[in-house]
Amino acid sequence: MFSIILYQPEIPPNTGNIIRLCANTGATLHLIEPLGFVLDDKNLRRAGLDYHPLTQIHVHPDFDSCLAHFSDKRIFALSAKGKTLYTTPSFSADDAFLFGPETRGLPQDVLQTFTQEHILRLPQITADRSLNLSNTAAVMLYEAWRQINFT
């Protein structure tokens, strides 16, 4: 099934919400260190409720080790700077979606590892702001899941 990758997440409740999202969709969660919190943070637990045991969570020490884990899979990066609309690609069940930290998004050196077709954006009215991380992850994951008929 799909994977959600969070690059250096900073805000525990967002990650907790994404844990809950993954539990309810069958997606796997990958976290790239450093994290802006410890995994047993009470705010993370509160947002994730009791969904932690229902979610596969993998922690990677850095971006390169995470890339190595997905060497035979497609990764799509989500960025407000992306040119490709999130509904354009045809997704497969083993695709992964990479999201940047809440306060700064994905750094340029990370984005440069992707082709423009693999840097996706969600449309929005304001160009200088972005959607909440957990909302963006939910929209992206449900679009990909819809494309494979929610199997």
Per-residue pLDDT tens digits of the chain, which is 151 residues long: 999 999 999 998 899 899 999 999 999 999 999 999 887 756 666 655 566 677 899 999 999 999 999 999 999 999 988 999 999 999 999 999 999 999 999 999 999 999 999 999 999 887 667 789 999 999 999 999 999 999 9
Which pTM value belongs to this model?
Answer: 0.93
Residue 140 is part of a domain; what is its CATH number?
Answer: 3.40.1280.10
In angstroms, the CA 57 to CA 5 distance is: 10
Amino acid at 142: Y
Q: Are 141 and 25 in contact (CB under 8 A)?
A: yes
Q: Which residue has the tokens 């919190």?
A: 37
**CB-count burial class (<10 Å; 0-12, 13-18, 19+) for 82:** buried
Q: Which two tokens stand for residue 30?
A: 């990958």
Q: Domain containing 58: what range?
A: 3-148
Q: Tell whether residue 122 is among the known ligand binding residues.
A: yes
pLDDT digits (tens, 9 = 90+) for 30-67: 999 999 988 775 666 665 556 667 789 999 999 999 99
Q: Are 140 and 123 in contact (CB under 8 A)?
A: no
Asked if residues 43 and 37 have their Cβ atoms less than 8 Å apart, the reply is yes
Q: How many domains does the chain have?
A: 1
Q: Is 21 flagged in the annotation as binding?
A: no
Percentage above 90 pLDDT, the chain: 77
**Residue-level length of the chain:** 151
49 assigned ligand-binding residue: no
Angle at 145 between CA 57 and CA 27, to 5 degrees: 5
Is residue 78 part of an annotated ligand binding site? yes
